[in-house]
Amino acid sequence: MITLDINGQKVQTDAEPDTPLLWVLRDHLGMTGSKFGCGKALCGACTVHIDGNATRSCVLPVSAVASSKITTIEAVGESKVGKAVQDAWIAEDVPQCGYCQSGQIMSATALLATNKKPTDADIDAAMSGNVCRCATYVRIRAAIKRAAGSLTT
């Protein structure tokens, strides 16, 4: 048994220690907001926060995060920044197919948590690990700026 701290709650899992956190979340704990896209940390659909940092959960063995604070899309809206990002995502109508958007929102929230007024270059640097095949990038950029604006006013 491994005990995890997910979204402020202690949860236990009997998953094998080498199981990536993504599959523990999805298959063992029923938290399906974080998505499987590539399995190699190339697309960012699986992004969660590990101690506040945007991290790809598809290549992260669950045994490595037993002492970490894990936040997922299911609870990111409980933080002020996460809520602002989600509201901005809805206001800008960012999602199309939507499959990558949990990961996009997790990356954007991690960015805004440490950088209140990101430049375009900052956004590129923080978000270029997240692929969107619908290419919603124009609106992702706009939503990050909208969220930044709402957090500073």
Residue 124 C-beta: closest distance to another protein, Å: 4
- Of 47 and 68, nearer to another protein (C-beta) is 47
Contact yes or no for 30/18 (Cβ under 8 A): no
Smallest gap from residue 153 Cβ to another protein (A) = 17
Closest to another protein by CB, 34 vs 55, is: 34
- Give the whole-angstrom CA distance, residue 125 versus residue 94: 19
Minimum CB–partner distance for residue 86 and another protein (Å): 5
In the complex, minimum distance from the CB of residue 54 to another protein, in angstroms, rounded to a whole number: 14
Binding site residues, another protein, CB under 8 A: 15-16, 19-20, 23, 26-28, 30, 32-40, 42-43, 45, 72-74, 77, 86, 89-91, 93-102, 105, 123-124, 127-128, 130-141
From residue 60, alpha-carbon distances to 23, 34, 85, 126 in Å are 10, 13, 25, 19
